[in-house]
Amino acid sequence: MGVIRAEPARVTDWAAKSVGAAWRAFDLQLVVYAGLLVATGLVMAYTNSVENGSTPLEAGTTFTRGLMWAGIAAVTFILATAFDYRWLKTLSWPVYALQLGLLLLTLAIGDGIGNSARWITVGPLTFQFSELAKILMIIVLANWLAGRGRRLDSITTILGAGILVAPPLALVMLQPDLGTSLVFGAILVGMLWMSGTSLKWLGAMAAAVIAMVPVAWTYLLRDYQKERLTSFLNTKPDITDSGYQLYQSQIAVGSGGWFGRGLTNGTQAQGDFLPVQSTDFVFSVLAEELGFIGAIVLFLLFVLLLWRVLIAGWRSRDPFGTLFSAGIASMVLFQLFVNVGMVMGIMPITGIPLPFVTHGGASLVSIAIGLGILQSINIRQTRAEW
C-alpha cells in the first residue's frame, strides 16, 4: 500500500459521504476557542468605544465595525469549511499568483500613513491584503513541501521554499511592513520544521539568517524601524518619543494587578495616555482591565486553539493538511508572542496584530479563512477516503 494521495473530490463523493460523518470530524472545540477569542476582541472593542466617549452601538465605532467584521468572518469561515481544500493543491500556482498580485496591487494603489502603502480602500472599507497573503503563503508552502515527499532532506526543498517566500516577503517589506514580513519568515521556519526537513540544513539556514542580520540592519531597515526595534532595550524609556507608547502600555499592563480595574475602567486608555489602544496595543487594555487572571485566560484560549490546530494537522493523512496546520500554528504563535511581548516590553515594536483580538477586518477574515480550510481538512479525512 502506498500513500493514498488525496485528490479533488468527485461529485459522487459528496453523495457517498454522510453529513453526519463530516460533522463528527468537524472540530467543534476549535470553533469554540476561536469564537471565544473573537468575543474577547469584541469586548475590548466595546470597552474602547466606551472609553473614547462614544456610544458603542452607534454606527462607525470600533465595536460596531468589529461586529460587522465578526459576521463577515463567520460567513467566510463557513464558506471555507464547505470548500474542498484539495482544490487548493491544484490551484497552488494561481493562489501564488493571486498573492503576489494582491501585494503588488497594494503597493500600487494602497494607502497608509505617510508614504507607506498598506491597505486598499474601497468605499468605507479598508482591507489589508498582506493579512490574506499570509494565508495564501501557507497554502503555497504547504503544497510545495507536501509535493517534496521523500526529498525533504534535500537542500533544494529548503531553498525552494525560501525562493517561494522571498517575493511576497520583499513586496511586504516594500510597503513597508516589517512586522508582516517577519510573520512570513516565522511561517516558513515553522512549516520547514514541521515538514521534517533535515536538521542539518535548517541549522545552516538559521546560521545564514543570523549572518544576514547586520546586512539587513544596515541596508534594509529604515531609521524609524530601527528605533522601534531597539526602544524596548532601553531600561529608562524615552517617554517622549517612540518609547512613549511602550512605557504607557507597560504602565497599563502593570497597573492591572491580579484582577484588573474592570472593563471600561481602564484609566490609561481613558486618559488617552495609550495612543492606539484599539490596534496592536489592545492587549495592554485587556491586561489593565481584566488583570493577570484575564490575561492568563486569554493565553489559555490561545494554547487550546493551538492545540486544536496541531491536532488537525496530526490527524490529517494528507501531508498538505499537516503542513497547512503547521503554518497556521506558527503564524498564530509567532503573532501572539511578538504582539504580547511587544506590549510588555520584551519584544521590539513591530506592527503585528494579536490574532482575533486586534480590531482589524483583514486579520480576522484571513484567520477565519485559515481555520475554515483547517476544518475543511478535518472533515475530509474520513475513513471513506481510503
Partner 1 sequence: MNTFLDGKPLSTRRFSRYLVFGLVVVLAVGTLTARLFYLQITNGTEYAAISTRQRTVDEPIPAPRGYMYDRNGRLLVKNVPTFAVKIRPADLPDDRRDEVVARLAALLRMDPAEINGTIDGNPGSAFDLVRVAQDVDKRTAQLISEAGFDLPGVDVAVEARRQYTDGPLMSQLLGYTGPVSAEQLPDLREKGYQPDDLLGKAGLEAEYETELRGTYGIQTVARDKTGRRTQVLQTVKDAVPGASLRLTIDTTTQREAQKALKWAMDKVGMTRGVVIAMNPQTGEILAMVSLPTYDNNQFARGISQTAYKKLLQNKDKPLLNHAIQAHYAPGSTYKLVTGTGGLADRDINESTKVLTRPFLTLGQTKFYEWNHRGWGPCDIYCGFGHSSDTFFYQVAGMLGSDRLAYWARQYGFGQPTGIDLPGEVGGIVPNNAWKQQTLGAPMFPGETYQAGIGQGYDAVTPLQLINAYAALANGGTLYQPQLVREIVGPDGKVVRPFSRKVLHKLKVKPAVLRVMREAARSTVTLRHTYNLVDMPIKIAGKSGTAEFGTPDAQGRLPYSSFFVGFTPKDPRNGSFENHDSRLIVMAFAHDSRTKGNAATEIVKYFFQLHYGIKKDYRLPENLQRTNFYSND
Q: Which of 322, 366, 375, 376 binds partner 1 (CB under 8 A)?
A: 322
By CB under 8 A, is residue 287 in contact with partner 1?
Answer: yes
Q: Which of 172, 295, 331, 374 binds partner 1 (CB under 8 A)?
A: 295
Instruction: Check if the beta carbon of residue 270 is closer than 8 Å to that of residue 280.
Output: no
Instruction: Check if the beta carbon of residue 330 is closer than 8 Å to that of residue 190.
Output: yes
At 254, phi and psi to the nearest 5? -60, -35
Instruction: Check if the beta carbon of residue 329 is closer than 8 Å to that of residue 313.
Output: yes
Q: Which grid cell is 264?
A: 471600561
Q: Which of 193, 206, 208, 226 binds partner 1 (CB under 8 A)?
A: 193
- Compute the least distance from the CB of residue 146 to partner 1, in Å: 7
Span from 15-23, 33-41, 77-85, 338-346 in contact with partner 1 (CB under 8 A):
338-346
Q: Which of 98, 251, 263, 297 binds partner 1 (CB under 8 A)?
A: 251
**Rg of the chain (C-alpha set):** 21
The site for partner 1, by CB under 8 A, has a size of 55
CA distance 114 to 364: 25
CA distance 210 to 102: 30
169/253 with CB nearer partner 1: 253
**Residue whose C-alpha cell is 491544484:** 90
By CB under 8 A, is residue 265 in contact with partner 1?
Answer: no
Site for partner 1, residues 131 to 150, rule: CB under 8 A: 145-146, 149-150
Site for partner 1, residues 33 to 62, rule: CB under 8 A: none
By CB under 8 A, is residue 384 in contact with partner 1?
Answer: no
DSSP string, 285-343: HHHHHHHHHHHHHHHHHHHHHHHHHHHHHHH-SSHHHHHHHHHHHHHHHHHHHHHHHHH
- Compute the least distance from the CB of residue 296 to partner 1, in Å: 7
By CB under 8 A, is residue 209 in contact with partner 1?
Answer: no
CA distance 133 to 169: 10
**Helix/strand number for the chain, H first, E second:** 16, 2
Using the 8-state DSSP alphabet, how is residue 380 labeled?
A: T
Instruction: Check if the beta carbon of residue 338 is closer than 8 Å to that of residue 182.
Output: yes
Smallest Cα–Cα separation from 161: which of 96, 91, 220?
96
66/370 with CB nearer partner 1: 370
- Compute the least distance from the CB of residue 30 to partner 1, in Å: 16
**Residue whose C-alpha cell is 534594509:** 220
Span from 79-87, 118-126, 211-219, 286-294 in contact with partner 1 (CB under 8 A):
286-294
102/295 with CB nearer partner 1: 295
Q: Which grid cell is 166?
A: 522571498
Instruction: Check if the beta carbon of residue 102 is closer than 8 Å to that of residue 366.
Output: no
By CB under 8 A, is residue 344 in contact with partner 1?
Answer: yes
- Compute the least distance from the CB of residue 333 to partner 1, in Å: 6
By CB under 8 A, is residue 2 in contact with partner 1?
Answer: yes
By CB under 8 A, is residue 258 in contact with partner 1?
Answer: yes
CA distance 218 to 177: 17
Span from 56-64, 94-102, 112-120, 247-255 in contact with partner 1 (CB under 8 A):
247-255
CA distance 237 to 249: 12
Burial of 346 (0-12, 13-18, 19+ CB in 10 A): exposed
Span from 75-83, 100-108, 110-118, 332-340 in contact with partner 1 (CB under 8 A):
332-340
83/337 with CB nearer partner 1: 337
Amino acid at 326: A
By CB under 8 A, is residue 203 in contact with partner 1?
Answer: no
Which stretches of the chain bind partner 1, using CB under 8 A?
1-4, 145-146, 149-150, 152, 190, 193-196, 250-258, 267-268, 271-273, 287, 291-292, 295-296, 299, 302-303, 306, 310, 313-315, 317, 319, 322-323, 326, 329, 333, 336-337, 340-341, 344-346
